């Protein structure tokens, strides 16, 4: 199995595989129960997983990712409004551009794909 090959390679190069950071995410409907192990430790199953700032679900739906991004941007915008006592519009706009806009623009192609995405349940 591929996990055994990765573990063997890591051991040969005196590297450790962080099993606590590994999870099993099944894409689509699961037809059978599969259990995967690394160094004798069974990998826990999960429904969603976050990697490189992108939330992936077992249905490959971008809804959870969009929700997380919107929530984070909204929280940061509220922090800006509360922290800046100045009513200077240019200062607030610059703060939003620097602190909120990157959150909304990072991996924006995932959000744009939502309108083209259809979940097919079998």
The answer to whether residue 2 sits within a structural domain is: yes
Say whether pLDDT at 116 is over 90. no
pLDDT at 118: 46
Which alpha helices (DSSP H) does 40-117 contain, by range? 63-83, 89-99, 101-105, 108-112
Residues 17 and 71 in one domain: no
As for how many domains the chain has, the answer is: 2
- The per-residue pLDDT for range 88-111, each reduced to its tens digit, is 889 899 999 999 999 888 876 665
Go through 50-64 and write b for each residue having 16 or more CB atoms within 10 A of its CB, e for each that does not: eeeeebbbbbeebee
Residues 40 and 71 in one domain: no
- The per-residue pLDDT for range 22-33, each reduced to its tens digit, is 888 888 877 677
- The per-residue pLDDT for range 37-52, each reduced to its tens digit, is 888 888 888 888 888 8
| Average pLDDT value for residue range 58-72 | 87
pLDDT-based confidence at residue 120 (cuts at 50, 70, 90)? very low
Owning domain of residue 99: 48-114
Q: How far apart are CA 39 and CA 36, in angstroms?
A: 10
The answer to whether residue 110 sits within a structural domain is: yes
Instruction: Please tell me the least confidently modeled range out of 33-42, 43-52, 68-77, 109-118.
Output: 109-118
Other beta carbons within 10 angstroms of residue 118's beta carbon come to 4
Q: Which residue has the higher pLDDT, 65 or 110?
A: 65
The answer to whether residue 119 sits within a structural domain is: no
The answer to whether residue 122 sits within a structural domain is: no
| Whole-number average pLDDT of the chain | 82
């Amino acid at each position: 199995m591929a996990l055994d090959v990765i573990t063997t390679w890591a051991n040969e190069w005196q590297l450790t595989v962080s099993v606590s950071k590994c999870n099993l995410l099944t894409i689509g409907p699961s037809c059978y129960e599969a259990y995967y192990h690394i160094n004798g430790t069974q990998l826990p199953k999960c429904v969603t997983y976050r990697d490189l700032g992108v939330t992936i679900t077992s249905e490959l739906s971008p809804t959870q990712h969009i929700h997380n991004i919107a929530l984070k941007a909204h929280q940061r915008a509220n922090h800006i409004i509360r922290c800046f006592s100045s009513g200077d519009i240019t200062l607030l706009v610059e703060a939003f551009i620097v602190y909120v806009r990157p959150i909304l623009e990072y991996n924006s192609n995932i959000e744009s794909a939502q309108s083209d995405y259809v979940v097919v349940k079998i």
